[in-house]
Structure 1
């Protein structure tokens, strides 16, 4: 329908044919005629040769000069190859290939006589790939890709162009099953840089272009319209488990007594947002809480629209007792909207979300959030890379078994925006100074303590001794504030005359003292010198703890 309307808006009268197109008054006919163009409806069953030829005889008689042919008919039937029945195969090949060959051949005869024609086939990404569970469809679309080139080779010299368009993942009836499958949907979206399914309207420009004189020197070409689909790279991957993290966050809210949680979804289409939404819904379902779609807000990149949508939700759904923001931008908006509506966080509404913001602890109240374990992701990725370098000639099937995809779990920071008790004043205290120019500061905001350990160094004659002493000094400062290394969320390290041998020592000592599983987000910087004389390493750390979580 979209293609017909776009062609009509470009000045074409339209002949439409399908198995069940209404003889008059169809939506497409009304839309075309509103544009001042003519629409001629026909019916034909593309699985029946007699029906096809009856249509062709009639349309050629009534329209002896057809300038453009769009071969857009298509059907798909899904079953694994080993179970794919003959009737599935025959139906798909008849509709997607045989009918289109016959129609193109017959209409093409007219174009040859008239000395002009534009023919466009609808191909598919499966014209180049095999697909899964659709052998008939893949075969038909692969054949179409070759068929259009065969027509082109013979008819190009007669001023007829024959091209194809390969749509990517378009939201149509044929793809509904994929979009309804959470895992397949997420996997597909992860491969689309545009982060969304295409719409039929996204194809119209390409069809008009290949139907116009602007494409006169383009022939035998297949134009992909796919949002930039990236083929799956055969490599081990390191990812975070967004589904499990969202599940845990929702479970935490439920344990806090929340029953009506508004979920702010930053996109309907990205793989990450879909997994987070699934995790949230799974937690509700497992706790026998009915999923209220009115509480799932699909947001956009427009801040103003998101503020208006959340304001409307909170003013119309009076008993909302929690907000789960699936991105940090939506978290900030949640604070703003609650403040504008006079809603107290967390007394009236508890707030949780995904964020790596270092200012999370400084919001009032501090923001309970799921933060991505950046260090662990980088560390695991490096391990996988080194293993693949060590065995560069290994067959990939073995590599999958030995390396596998690694999934790390984001960290839930329990801060004040979900607490049942919140203080309103901020206290600041300085701990005893360590060696060098060190200083440790504790800021208490509500029931959250943030510990800053700044400029910490350690004594020693060599780099390893100083590193060990520095980590022990950090441990002492943290313990004096009631924290441990597991509470550290960010660590910055400065190494004089940075080189590989020193970083190896640093990592070994850090692992010995902190433990391999307690690594925070970390940055290591090489410097020429430190302010503290004769010091070779300086570390600063930020830790967050919650007081009286219950």
Structure 2
């Protein structure tokens, strides 16, 4: 078989992106939608999810919505099962929902630790399990777990975040080991430093921004739209023989010392 450029297209596919009301999740939704997918906006609030989906439809994209909290297993199971039954199949899952907490490790509270793990790690497990059961029955599916440069590197004050993202990287490999035989490809997408609301404190910190630009071979912060090409690739048939991998989109940050 010869290569077909149309293998990058996502027409006829439906993509659920968790935590897609803003930031990276919303931009990924736009990118997948531009490639032809029907995107499913997810936030914890049904009105917000519907409003963002309507906004994307106004932009000419195909968009639907579903509301659930990734930390509430019973709620998300019910929401995903109902969506699959009443609306249609979820062909692509992007596990994007995540939070950040900052404090010196010796002072990091147990409650903040558990919040980070429940959202960043447990949420990926529970949502993936719920969606994968339907994918397994169909014999196909794409899962993209949003990892981080902190899946591989650590910085002071965010050790729990790094631990959660390192675990997501390994959970991605576990999904490959378990689900590849069912026609599912699970891969990680690891952003470097992007100018988002989650990173607002760092973006506004002149000293940190100067350090980051010197540390990153590309010499700048990333733009969120620069994640879309990698996401489309991992969501498309073009990546059907890629599984359990983590693709770093970081301007070269993890490649140099």
* Range of TM-score over shorter length: 0.7 to 0.9
Q: Which one has the largest radius of gyration?
A: 1
Tell me the distance in 2 between the aligned counterparts of 1:60 and 1:220.
Answer: 25
Alignment of 1:156-175 (within 5 A): 156-175=180-199
Shift of residue 79, structure 1, vs aligned partner = 0.5
Q: How many residues align?
A: 232
Does structure 1 retain, via aligned residues, the 8 Å contact 2:98–2:120? yes
Does structure 2 retain, via aligned residues, the 8 Å contact 1:127–1:142? yes
Match of 1:10 in 2: 35
- Larger RCO: Structure 1 or Structure 2 (Cα < 8 Å, ≥ 6 residues apart)? 2
Deviations 1:145-190 (A, max 9, x none): 0001001011112211000111000111111111222222211111
Match of 1:401 in 2: none
Q: Residues 183 and 23 from structure 1, CA distance in 2 versus in 1: closer, same or farther, beyond 3 angstroms?
A: closer
Tell me the distance in 1 between the aligned counterparts of 2:154 and 2:72.
Answer: 27
Alignment of 1:490-501 (within 5 A): none
Match of 2:76 in 1: 52
Which of 95, 100, 107 does residue 76 from structure 1 map onto?
100
Moved more, 124-133 or 208-217: 124-133
Match of 1:203 in 2: 227
Alignment of 1:481-520 (within 5 A): none
Q: Residues 32 and 202 from structure 1, CA distance in 2 versus in 1: closer, same or farther, beyond 3 angstroms?
A: farther
> CA RMSD of the aligned region, Å?
1.9
Alignment of 1:94-493 (within 5 A): 94-229=118-253, 233=257
Does structure 2 retain, via aligned residues, the 8 Å contact 1:167–1:225? yes
Higher percent of residues as helix:
2
Q: Residues 16 and 24 from structure 1, CA distance in 2 versus in 1: closer, same or farther, beyond 3 angstroms?
A: closer
Shift of residue 34, structure 1, vs aligned partner = 3.4
TM-score, normalising length: structure 1:
0.40
Q: Residues 25 and 162 from structure 1, CA distance in 2 versus in 1: closer, same or farther, beyond 3 angstroms?
A: closer
Shift of residue 74, structure 1, vs aligned partner = 1.0
Deviations 1:223-254 (A, max 9, x none): 01011115674xxxxxxxxxxxxxxxxxxxxx
Q: Residues 34 and 228 from structure 1, CA distance in 2 versus in 1: closer, same or farther, beyond 3 angstroms?
A: same
Does structure 2 retain, via aligned residues, the 8 Å contact 1:168–1:227? yes
TM-score, normalising length: structure 2:
0.84
Tell me the distance in 1 between the aligned counterparts of 2:218 and 2:134.
Answer: 41
Tell me the distance in 2 between the aligned counterparts of 1:209 and 1:129.
Answer: 25
Tell me the distance in 2 between the aligned counterparts of 1:159 and 1:230.
Answer: 30
Does structure 2 retain, via aligned residues, the 8 Å contact 1:71–1:120? yes
Higher percent of residues as strand:
1
Tell me the distance in 1 between the aligned counterparts of 2:67 and 2:176.
Answer: 28
